[in-house]
Amino acid sequence: MNDSLPRLKIVFLWHMHQPYYKDYFSGEYVLPWVRLHGVKDYLDMASILDKYPKIKQTFNYVPSLVKQIDDYVNNNAFDHHLYLSRKKVDDLDETEKLDILNTFFSANFRTMIKPHPEYLRLYQKKDAFKSDLSRAVKQFTDQEYLDLTVLANLVWIDPVFRNDPEIKPLFEKRNNYTYEERVVLFEFQKKILGQIIPKLKELQDREQAEISFSPYYHPILPLLIDTDLAKEAMPRVRLPKNRFRHPEDARTHIRRSVDMYGSLFGRKLKGMWPSEGSVAEDLLPMLAEEGIEWIASDEEIFFQSLENPKSEDVKKAMALDFHRPFKLERPFGDIGIIFRDHKLSDRIGFVYSSWDADKASADFINHLASIRSLLKPSEVQDHVVPIILDGENAWEYYDNDGEDFLHSLYKSLTRDDRFETVTVSELFRKTSNHKNLPYLFAGSWIGHNFKIWIGHEEDNRAWDLLSEARNALENYQNDNPGDDPKGVEIAWEEIYVAEGSDWCWWYGDEHSSHDDDLFDMIFRSHLSAVYSIIGKETPKELLQPVRSAAPQSSVIQPSNYFSPTIDGEITHFYEWYDAGTFNCRKASSAMHRVASIVEEIFFGFDQKSLYFRLDLFTSARDDTLSDYIFELELRTERLYRLRCSHEGIVFQSRSEEEDEFEPSRFEGTVVLKNVVEISWPRKQIEFDEDFDVQLRVRVFKGDQLLETWPGMDLIKFQAPTEDKSIFWQV
């Protein structure tokens, strides 16, 4: 297609991001999405450009995503999904099989399950049991479990790679997989992950792509600088109790991104998509200080940044003007900025997935042509249409993972003389007359505000917990200069992770998923790690869910009074029949963590005592029991700690106001034999009027903490001396 007018420039910026899923306490990745999206969305988005040398793209990565990819490739990192996928079916217990049935169909039904006959059959078999999956566990054969662990990983392999001779036979086979074939699949996953960064570097070196980075752990930078910046867009917003003002943290996230980029790509980082397109005037000096030459945000930020943003006449007059690169000219230096075309970006992200690929591509080209037709010939040269969106999550809603659409679009753009694709840095080199935007409004790409991340009661509570943990770490560092610098460094890392935007994304009313409670626990786990590293008691507020409706799915309450024999043996079946229980196997699935010592915790009471029993995994019982120290933490009106081992018993307590524990003699009974059994006299416990009890169990080997149950939160029950209708389960 020939046209005498200059070509309209098109910028595609694909944002690649996953939360930081690694848990400090277990060392596991809690969810598998870095690995699964890594084999489906990252390498193919870059590799497709090999067929279209005239198409140029900008890929924006979050450094913490790159860090996780590297961990899988070079450090054999694993997640719970991968752990279950690798395990032999004979070694799976019923809880793990239930976990597989619950989580191994987490894929788009229309595009990722339905096209695979055996995967669809297994899904329908599981679905026939509806919510009662415990009945389904024994209905699946060993071969079906093996096939499911293969298929749940196989369907995430991008169509681009499915003709590879290593993996093609698995797609052709469809079922009756072997363990050897499953190993081939995991090795292929790792191979794809290992090619992502080299491919990006190759594209950048031949100037077909530009790689930009977001701040390191994807924080909302303006809110790190000062949470009061939320007031610009939301003057009446209710902010956290503690004002968070740590511009030094914002600088750290930017600087670490710059440093990682330099080490990976051997050149200077030029551009940055601030997390969620979140910008503010206060952010600009930091970016300039670190040498960032361009940033991007949403068109709504542009309109709000105008001198009179409420004037519809001004908005209308400037409606096309945001389709240009701007400069933020400031005394400390100039920074380029572009603003995403909201409508066109969202058409790719949310509209075209249900369209025929060629029809969607044609519609997109028509929208570009419409924008170009409204420009004067002299204006086309210096204008751009920025298409900025998530580069991973949309494609599973497209047929063939979006490959058909992208091929059609790239072919059309290659042949059409009206348009040219450019990287963002190239855009600023090829254009002139960059208008100065004298002020930058504080907001994000969503509603030009920060409502997703602050203002709701849950969001504000999360910010306060972050503030308190950060203050505790800073105070510790000031009081102990030079003490354990490596430990302090790790604690700061946990703070930076907790500053990421992903946790508050799921708090409040705006977003929800099946993993809401899990994200809540991950966030609090990062902050709990800070206190653990510096040797401080975890605040009780961190042991309570931030979410207002988080369930305790692994806890069954006591159903009646009972009086067991404390002898370290399970004397008879009904001895602990009325006890409450905490199933560590079930909790380990919910937390995606593998239990190793305590299998189940029993608890209950009669008129005189509280009773506790710890059942151990067979492997732990086979070890020398004297190696372990079992600690029960009880929270009532006071905080109690009971440490039990073959070496003896240590009993301590303190009030909430006291800093130090007070030792005393324990008047109950502890027996460590086949199980650990404990009777704890009520006279040694100070209750509140409701007899509320909160319990946590820790296991040590020497000074090393091996595991904590629950991982987050506490086991909660009531222990009245008279029947107050607490036994509602009877």
Lowest mean pLDDT among 124-128, 452-456, 473-477, 704-708: 704-708
Is the pLDDT confidence value at 724 over 60?
no
Residue whose tokens read 């662990």? 149
Tokens of 108: 């788009």
State the pLDDT at residue 308.
56
Confidence band of 111 (pLDDT split at 50, 70, 90):
very high
The fold adopted by the segment(s) 555-718 is Immunoglobulin-like (2.60.40)
The predicted-structure confidence for 300-330, as pLDDT tens digits, reads as follows: 999 999 865 555 555 555 656 889 999 999 9
Confidence band of 1 (pLDDT split at 50, 70, 90):
low
State the pLDDT at residue 259.
98
Q: Give the separation between CA 131 and CA 195, rounded to whole angstroms.
A: 40
CATH placement of domain 457-543? 1.20.1430
State the pLDDT at residue 728.
36
- Domain range 1-17+214-448, its CATH number among 3.20.110.20, 3.40.50.150, 3.80.30.20, 3.40.50.1820: 3.20.110.20
Lowest mean pLDDT among 395-404, 459-468, 637-646, 698-707: 698-707
The predicted-structure confidence for 429-442, as pLDDT tens digits, reads as follows: 999 889 999 999 99
- Using CA of residue 449, residue 451, residue 455, residue 459, what is the dihedral sign? negative
Q: Give the separation between CA 79 and CA 30, rounded to whole angstroms.
A: 6
- Using CA of residue 437, residue 438, residue 441, residue 444, what is the dihedral sign? positive
Q: What share of the chain is helix, strand, coil (3-state, %, to 5)?
A: 45, 20, 35
State the pLDDT at residue 549.
57
Confidence band of 729 (pLDDT split at 50, 70, 90):
very low
State the pLDDT at residue 589.
44
Question: What mean pLDDT do residues 578-589 have?
Answer: 76
Mean pLDDT of the chain: 90
For the residues of 400-466, what is the DSSP string, one character each? GGGHHHHHHHHHHHHH-TTEEE--HHHHHHH----EE------B-TTTTS-TTTSSSHHHHHHHHHH
Is the pLDDT confidence value at 148 over 70?
yes
List the beta bridge partners of residue 378: none
The predicted-structure confidence for 547-579, as pLDDT tens digits, reads as follows: 875 545 568 888 888 899 999 988 776 789 889
Q: What is the pTM of this model?
A: 0.82
What are the extents of the domains in the chain? 1-17+214-448, 18-205, 457-543, 555-718
Query: Are residues 458 and 550 in contact, defined by beta-carbon separation less than 8 angstroms?
Result: no
The predicted-structure confidence for 465-524, as pLDDT tens digits, reads as follows: 999 999 999 999 999 988 888 889 999 999 999 999 999 999 887 777 777 888 998 999
Share of the chain above pLDDT 90, in %: 73
Q: Give the separation between CA 55 and CA 426, rounded to whole angstroms.
A: 13
The predicted-structure confidence for 38-72, as pLDDT tens digits, reads as follows: 999 999 999 999 999 999 999 999 999 999 999 99
Query: Are residues 17 and 63 in contact, defined by beta-carbon separation less than 8 angstroms?
Result: no
Q: Give the separation between CA 90 and CA 92, rounded to whole angstroms.
A: 6
State the pLDDT at residue 617.
75
The predicted-structure confidence for 193-248, as pLDDT tens digits, reads as follows: 999 999 999 999 999 999 999 999 999 999 999 999 999 999 999 999 999 999 99
Tokens of 95: 């809880």
Topology alike, domains 457-543 and 555-718: no
Which runs of consecutive H residues, i.e. helices, occur in 433-571? 457-479, 485-498, 502-506, 516-533
State the pLDDT at residue 81.
95
CA dist 166 → 191, 274, 414 (Å)? 11, 39, 32
Is the pLDDT confidence value at 152 over 90?
yes
Question: What mean pLDDT do residues 280-302 have?
Answer: 97
